[in-house]
Structure 1
């Protein structure tokens, strides 16, 4: 009797352990909300094949490209990794004025690779609405519509979404989050874009960077608020919500602005966010500790699936910036120091992205 009880207990413990292990494996392989930006403003990057292998060793399940490099798209074939490809700002006028240009672009950059390469979104332009180019701004929606029509013509319109990426400076005000509104002079343009997002089920994609918020307000309590560290929070008197991190506050500000225009059900996607791990001596904020705290805290927050206070219970799809440093980028040192991985494919700092680390 004693042996049987002991055996049963051991079996139960084995089952519990196996369940826990399978759960960890499942977590490591089901984080569809974690993506990464793969920029190429560099002359020293690892090969696309090596990068594809690296990505498969992590819990990153989506990659955003700023263009449509066929070598990278092909390297990611049959990996299951979702691929966001980009169309350049400079091509928007041609997309808008010539449906055949859009068709040729889709036939050249999408059709040869799909579905082996899991292209999920085409981003038309980057931060166009705050570019100051009124001609480009007015042509953005027609360009997106022509690309959507080109996808429809090859029966991919319901499989690949068409969107664009917006800067947080679209907001005229953002604090408290419940009061956030878009700049009045952009409302008409945004209305058309949001009608398109709503009709096609494509996301409203934004680039929130608590790092830049901290650069403008470098108090210690602001840093803790940005880095998911203990802090007293920031109270929104309208909703009675005490925000405990800048990421949630920024995303909810976008949600409030969308709600004010009648589009609260349009999905929000974070197309870029990150923190540099080094900078020049006169730069405030860049360090390995801060970058690890922000990116690691963000990943932990996303994995908790608590969502944001105004959008609870679901993690916002988030693309970390960036996969590698880009050595040809202009500007201060911090612009070239956002990479999560080194050129030898080792981690710049460990934030728990490795599948083997998670299972262990």
Structure 2
């Protein structure tokens, strides 16, 4: 009897999984440095090591930052500035020099996982960046391939949601026609090199475009009726999943379903100007805390169930020198003195979920639309005319992107199969 109980433990574990490092490894943070009051790097390293954050993205290749994280378990995403893209594209030697200066010296000490070539280049307003982006990425990858010790370093670039022309419903996600040829080339490069497509979705800007209570609940992962995607017949419980799946649909539509998606930035400001609706401490705490819980659950999105996309929160600190409205200087998880602007459940010694934030809604397969609440004459699902999914947080631009839709998706159906396999295995062993 005791032997059989021991053999049944794996079955129990299927339904009562132990905490896993995998659930933590999906969470990263952006470290912007447009500020004059940031703490010493040694303090920042200690701060990050006190959290469950395992990845750090910087917007350049600051040697001091890279060296500071040597010997830690925190992996780094570093970047080639937009100003350097043209030179890397036109001259392979320039790419080789960049790699020699910014990657090779750290291969035995710091963990660099991705190099991003340019930041939001396709929506920068500089047409030359678009034509130079892919050649620069190709030259840099070739330069990195000169050393087998950095063969695991990926090369990618980061996009705003403005690369999409269509996103509602998520299953209809599509890129702007004038960007399709460029993005086909980039996606082919990412597929062949095993690198991710990196995107910056911000549910905050969707709510600003449609500041209804039901939209806020949808953006903050709070209780809501769910929003049906009539195309996929999946229902969405939160805006983040809808935005990510709109990108997934657009990438798939061009023929690249194998390319992984990484969220390079997302966040919510805790403070704003009087006309910046939704920028409050409570909302920022709810969004980030519930997003962290959602990512840790590994439930995934309706189109990508069973695993969470790697997601970099914006941002580690407030950046007091950033131009634009107050919200641009108010995305930090921490103040410069390392005190929290709010507790998002990221500290190792605290609970892994925010006690005051609503738990994220579980994704469940929906074969029919959710019931229309009393008093409404049309299905739930639209954020309102002219709403936008997001706009750039880093540069302060609030140009309309794509219409705000979102609908609670299906989870993977592999648990029963695994259970039956364990039962069969257990029965065969106990007969021995």
Give the TM-score normalised by structure 2: 0.76
CA–CA separation in structure 2 for the residues paired with 1:112 and 1:173: 43
- 1:241/1:147 CA distance change after superposition, 3 Å: same
Q: Which residue of 2 aligns with 1:131?
A: 124
Matched, 1:253 2:246: yes
Q: Which residue of 1 aligns with 2:194?
A: 201
Does the Cα contact within 8 Å between 1:38 and 1:324 map onto a contact in 2?
A: yes
Q: Which residue of 2 aligns with 1:289?
A: 282
Q: Which residue of 1 aligns with 2:302?
A: 309
CA–CA separation in structure 2 for the residues paired with 1:26 and 1:178: 32
Q: Which residue of 1 aligns with 2:184?
A: 191
Q: Which residue of 2 aligns with 1:174?
A: 167
Matched, 1:32 2:25: yes
Q: Which residue of 1 aligns with 2:399?
A: none
Offset of 1:264 from its aligned partner?
A: 1.2
1:127-149 superposed Cα distances (whole Å, 9 cap, x missing partner): 11112322110000000001101
Q: Which residue of 2 aligns with 1:235?
A: 228
The residue correspondences of 1:35-184 to structure 2 (distance < 5 A) are: 35-156=28-149, 158-184=151-177
- 1:344/1:244 CA distance change after superposition, 3 Å: same
- 1:207/1:263 CA distance change after superposition, 3 Å: same
Does the Cα contact within 8 Å between 1:202 and 1:267 map onto a contact in 2?
A: yes
Does the Cα contact within 8 Å between 1:28 and 1:59 map onto a contact in 2?
A: no
Offset of 1:213 from its aligned partner?
A: 1.0
Offset of 1:240 from its aligned partner?
A: 1.2
Question: Residue 166 of structure 1: SS of its match in structure 2?
Answer: strand
Does the Cα contact within 8 Å between 2:345 and 2:352 map onto a contact in 1?
A: no
Deviates more, 1:157-166 or 1:36-45: 157-166
Does the Cα contact within 8 Å between 1:89 and 1:124 map onto a contact in 2?
A: yes
1:280-311 superposed Cα distances (whole Å, 9 cap, x missing partner): 11111100000001000100100110000000
Offset of 1:154 from its aligned partner?
A: 2.1
Question: Residue 358 of structure 1: SS of its match in structure 2?
Answer: coil
- 1:233/1:26 CA distance change after superposition, 3 Å: closer
Length, aligned pairs only: 340
1:239-272 superposed Cα distances (whole Å, 9 cap, x missing partner): 1111110000000000111111111110000000
CA–CA separation in structure 2 for the residues paired with 1:288 and 1:24: 33
Q: Which residue of 2 aligns with 1:3?
A: none
Q: Give the alignment's Cα RMSD to 1 decimal.
A: 1.8
CA–CA separation in structure 2 for the residues paired with 1:143 and 1:157: 18
1:157-215 superposed Cα distances (whole Å, 9 cap, x missing partner): 52100000011011111000001110111110001000000000000000000001111
Offset of 1:219 from its aligned partner?
A: 1.1
Give the TM-score normalised by structure 1: 0.91
**Residue segments in structure 2 that go unaligned for 5+ positions in a row:** 1-8, 354-432
- 1:256/1:76 CA distance change after superposition, 3 Å: same
**Residue segments in structure 1 that go unaligned for 5+ positions in a row:** 1-15
CA–CA separation in structure 2 for the residues paired with 1:322 and 1:220: 26
1:313-343 superposed Cα distances (whole Å, 9 cap, x missing partner): 0010000000000001000000000000121
Question: Residue 335 of structure 2: SS of its match in structure 1?
Answer: coil
Q: 2:270 aligns with which of 272, 277, 289?
A: 277
Deviates more, 1:297-306 or 1:131-140: 131-140
- 1:247/1:137 CA distance change after superposition, 3 Å: same
Q: Which residue of 1 aligns with 2:427?
A: none
